[in-house]
């Protein structure tokens, strides 16, 4: 198995990031967790070439290190917003199963759905941990990397959770007003 071969050659370390992971066994996941090796979840690419859906919720529950990837060579978009949304869709398909010729009770993998907060974690904190960067969250001692996006108007009052969900589901490139890296503005939309 690939994981055993990589481990034999000492390629699985806490600095290693392995992409996809849709064909990993329980033993593989245990070994990756023991070696502190991160899995880059590339959900758009996995739809096209992964031959499966990474069971993100299961891996998070078992303590595996996971970050969100945007494997453009196997997908159509490098956008983390698009990959966040696909991670959620893929997890829903894994939960429900896709073979509707089978009864709903036997298709799918129970409790595989992830939330927008889970997917956002993968794109921020999870990704930063994978690359051993002191970023991914707004907190003392962390590099301030963030975007300012234009919100879409609504006629009703929304909670902060609703605003977060709407921003994650609706933000596209043209909505990004500014980008800050290490607290310095590196992009301003004109």
Integer Cα distance of 88 and 18 in angstroms: 20
Residue pLDDT, tens place only, 128-165: 999 999 999 999 999 989 999 998 778 889 999 999 99
The low-confidence residues of the chain, meaning pLDDT below 70, are 50
Q: Do the beta carbons of residue 121 and residue 157 sit within 8 Å?
A: no
Predicted local confidence at residue 94, as pLDDT: 96
Predicted local confidence at residue 120, as pLDDT: 97
Predicted local confidence at residue 72, as pLDDT: 77
Predicted local confidence at residue 174, as pLDDT: 94
Q: Which residues pair with 19 in a beta bridge?
A: 40
Tokens of 19: 């992409």
User: If phi over 0 gives left and psi between -120 and 50 gives alpha, with beta otherwise, what is residue 133?
Assistant: beta
Q: Do the beta carbons of residue 181 and residue 148 sit within 8 Å?
A: no
Q: Do the beta carbons of residue 68 and residue 126 sit within 8 Å?
A: yes
Integer Cα distance of 154 and 166 in angstroms: 10
Tokens of 91: 């997890």
Predicted local confidence at residue 153, as pLDDT: 77
Q: Do the beta carbons of residue 80 and residue 123 sit within 8 Å?
A: yes
The pTM assigned to this predicted structure is 0.92
Integer Cα distance of 92 and 53 in angstroms: 10
- Domains of the chain (ranges plus CATH)? 2-133 (3.20.20.140), 144-190 (no CATH)
């Amino acid at each position: 198995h690939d994981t055993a071969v990589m481990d034999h050659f000492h390629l699985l370390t806490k600095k290693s990031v392995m992409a996809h992971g849709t064909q990993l066994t329980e033993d593989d996941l245990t070994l990756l967790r023991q070696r502190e090796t991160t899995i880059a979840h590339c959900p758009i690419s996995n739809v096209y070439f992964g031959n499966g859906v990474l069971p993100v919720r299961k891996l998070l529950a078992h303590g595996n290190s996971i970050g969100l990837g945007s494997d453009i060579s196997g997908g159509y978009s490098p956008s983390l917003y698009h990959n966040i949304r696909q991670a959620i869709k893929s997890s829903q398909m894994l939960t429900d199963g896709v073979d509707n010729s089978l009864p709903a009770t036997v298709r799918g993998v129970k409790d595989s759905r992830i939330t927008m907060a889970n997917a956002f974690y993968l794109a921020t904190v999870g990704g930063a941990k994978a690359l051993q960067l002191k970023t991914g969250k707004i907190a003392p001692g962390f590099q301030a990397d963030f975007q300012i996006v234009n919100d879409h108007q609504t006629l009703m009052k929304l909670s902060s959770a609703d605003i977060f969900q709407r921003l994650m589901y609706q933000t596209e490139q043209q909505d990004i007003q500014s980008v800050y890296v290490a607290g310095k503005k590196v992009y301003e939309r004109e």
